[in-house]
Amino acid sequence: MVERVSGAAGPAAGCGPVPEADGVRALYERYVIPTYARMGVVLTHGTGSHVFDERGRRYLDLGGGIAVNALGHAHPALVSAIEQQARRLIHCSNYYYSEPQGRLARELVRLIGPGKVFFCNSGAEANEGLFKLARRFGHSEGRFEILTALQSFHGRTLAGISATGQEKVKQGFDPLVPGFRHVPFNDLGALEKAISPATVAVLIEGIQGEGGVNPARPEYLMGLRRLCEERRLLLLMDEVQCGCFRTGRFASWQRILEGAPGGEGFLPDGVALAKSLGGGFPIGAFWVREPYADLLGPGSHGTTFGGTPLACAAALAVLEVIEKEDWAGHARRLGDRLLMELGRQVERHPRVWAGVRGMGMMIGLQLQPEPAGLTGAGQSPAVRLTQLLLEEGLLVIPAGTHVIRLLPPLNLSEAEAREGIEILERVVGRLD
């Protein structure tokens, strides 16, 4: 059961007055556009891998703000970096230089490969930048079409939903932005057949997140690289959810291609980043490979808030802590153990679970088409199970109708991982 917390860990510990949950919900109902089907809990604060509601109940957060909170909640190094930078310079226009932005760009180039970086505020903006890069690359030849994968997700802007290979996100927003077509994921032959004279780029996720935690196969990635070189196409990768060390390497393709012939030399032409990059502070970025890094020159792209000194200082602190304390290696090792334990749970409860997949701290649990105890509730099985787990003190993220995602902090402890597995076992055991 969820735990009621008192004393220093409770909401009275320097967090201001305890809000009335009904009052907060009323504010949302009256003033907030209802684009989210919220779970009903009013969160007040967090520490490490846990968050607390207005009554002092503690929840183990294995959703991580949808793969955002790389170091959990209120990590001292991140808090300190934000506080110190806020005392110096929060924002300045991109007409001027600031040291944190230059240093962060250098770090991302070190982690990815030779190239340059543009900073923005979100993953959707990062992908928009890649769309513009591709259009500029092919403009003189009249090429503009970008091929993406079915079940992909690339953001909620008009171009983002046009690029996304899921019909549900497009409904009601016609006419869509032209220039995007979708092909099956992990199917190199289907993609090759889809290339037209207008095609200029291919955009994929290394691991599809919203699509259900579907990793790209090594041979698919290597084949895409060869095909794009042969056809003079840009190979673009959306690493918004699966990047920034979530798989145990900085980029998902680095983990996927370990041991694959030629894998160490693999490099896309453009990469979108966000989510875990700022550890909770909003920041996005896109990296462009060296031959194309100057395609977007002065006046061709811009942002008011992208790459502020404050956002870059936060991201620098996140990268420093992860590398200094080897949380990427920890995420890899603990993620492997989680996959093994969850695999055993799948075997114990075949009427509920159909399988488990993922890498590092990005894991998807696949539900059966009609999972025991989760049908006929007026909600999708994934959302219903997410609600049941919330009631037991565990936060997870649904993906589609039949997958739940575990996207915890990279510094999740072994004890916390066991706690999460025990809650899952308890809830699923009752369903089965």
Q: Which residues are catalytic?
A: 153, 238, 275
Q: What SS3 state is found at 332?
A: helix
Contact (Cβ atoms closer than 8 angstroms) between residue 316 and residue 106: no
Tell me which H or E stretch contains 51. Answer: strand 50-53
| Nearest 10 degrees: Cα torsion 281, 283, 289, 291 | -140
Measured on CA atoms in the order 33, 37, 42, 45, is the torsion positive or negative?
A: negative
List of residues 6+ apart from 49 with CB closer than 8 A? 60, 61, 62, 72, 73, 408, 409, 411, 412, 413, 416
State the angle between helix axes of 414-431 and 327-348 in degrees (0 to 180), rounded to the nearest 10. Answer: 20
Burial of 301 (0-12, 13-18, 19+ CB in 10 A): middle
Tell me which H or E stretch contains 23. Answer: helix 21-31
Pairwise CA distance, residues 22 & 208, whole Å:
36
Contact (Cβ atoms closer than 8 angstroms) between residue 168 and residue 175: no
Pairwise CA distance, residues 156 & 170, whole Å:
9
Contact (Cβ atoms closer than 8 angstroms) between residue 204 and residue 185: yes
Amino acid at residue number 163? A
Tell me which H or E stretch contains 4. Answer: strand 3-4
What the block records as the tokens of 246 is: 């979530």
